[in-house]
Structure 1
Amino acid sequence: MMDKMMATLLESLHEATQRLEQAVAVKESNPDDWLAILDEREELIHQMQERFSAGSVLTEAQRVQLTQIYEVNQRLIPLIEGCKQGVQQQLNNLHRSKLAMNSYNEAGPNGYGAFFDRKK
């Protein structure tokens, strides 16, 4: 028996996965956009799990489609991790710069743009 609701959910999940792949592939894309798509996908997966709990089963074509979604996910994980590491590196650099700036700003007086280093 083919479950129309499951077919619709699976098609929506496939489409959302394709949109996520396109969004992540753009070099300067906004990770907030990714989060919106990931939230949408999470809701679709939750609905699919409810259908499975109710006794729905996948057809062979739906299993193939689910396998394709899985393969896209496997390609996306390293890309997202790379972006995450890049952002973490930027945060670390910003934190280091801020610490250096604060240590010199608290060092004491400066006169007319001249800098007096008291750390020696």
Structure 2
Amino acid sequence: MNRMDELADELLQLTLQIQEQLLTEDSDPNEWLNFLDKRDIVMSQIDQLMAEGLTLSDSQKQVLQNGYQLNQKILPLMDARLQKLQGKMAVLQKSKMAVSTYNDVDTGPNGYGAFFDRRK
């Protein structure tokens, strides 16, 4: 097994690990980034070998094609998970803002629970 075979297999395995992380409901997004960074390094190594004149065999092309197809399935999963996280963050930010408004003596309601009717 030559270096290009190893890199192609590693790229496919990293892509599978990313998919596994995305399919796990409570997975840590930092883990996704870790696998994505590792995968970028492997892709850079493949690019460098190809720039040096190394060509891909049919089996290597097939492994890389499988990784590409898997990646096409992963992208929508990643987008959905990121949107879900952004929604949770927005709700948390609104809650935090509401709590800080009520706790701030200068800008929050300062009637200590009393209601002031400001209508004329």
User: Shorter-chain TM-score: what band?
Assistant: 0.7 to 0.9
Q: Quick check: 1:20–1:38 contact (8 Å CA) kept in 2?
A: yes
What corresponds to 1:16 in structure 2?
14
Specify every segment of 5 or more residues in structure 1 that has no aligned partner in the other structure, as ranges: none
Could you say if the C-alpha distance between residues 118 and 54 of structure 1 is closer, same or farther in structure 2, counting changes exceeding 3 Å?
Answer: farther
Aligned length: 114
> TM-score scaled by structure 2?
0.85
What corresponds to 2:110 in structure 1?
108
Q: CA offsets per residue over residues 72-106 of structure 1, 9 Å max, x none?
A: 10111011111110111111111222222233332
Could you say if the C-alpha distance between residues 109 and 13 of structure 1 is closer, same or farther in structure 2, counting changes exceeding 3 Å?
Answer: same
Shift of 1:45: 0.4
Distance 2:47 2:117 in 1: 62
How large is the Cα RMSD of the aligned pairs?
Answer: 1.8
Specify every segment of 5 or more residues in structure 2 that has no aligned partner in the other structure, as ranges: none
What corresponds to 2:43 in structure 1?
45
Distance 1:116 1:102 in 2: 19
| Partner secondary structure for residue 55 of structure 1 | coil
Distance 2:96 2:117 in 1: 17
Could you say if the C-alpha distance between residues 12 and 107 of structure 1 is closer, same or farther in structure 2, counting changes exceeding 3 Å?
Answer: same
| Partner secondary structure for residue 27 of structure 2 | coil
- Residue identity opposite 1:6 in structure 2: M
After TM superposition, what 4+ stretches of structure 1 lie above 6 angstroms from structure 2?
none
Distance 1:117 1:90 in 2: 32
Q: Quick check: 1:107–1:117 contact (8 Å CA) kept in 2?
A: no
> TM-score scaled by structure 1?
0.85
Q: Quick check: 2:22–2:81 contact (8 Å CA) kept in 1?
A: no
Shift of 1:13: 0.7
Alignment of 1:26-65 (within 5 A): 26-65=24-63
The answer to whether the aligner puts 1:86 opposite 2:88 as a matched pair is no
Q: Quick check: 1:17–1:72 contact (8 Å CA) kept in 2?
A: yes
Q: CA offsets per residue over residues 53-82 of structure 1, 9 Å max, x none?
A: 101111111111111101110111011111
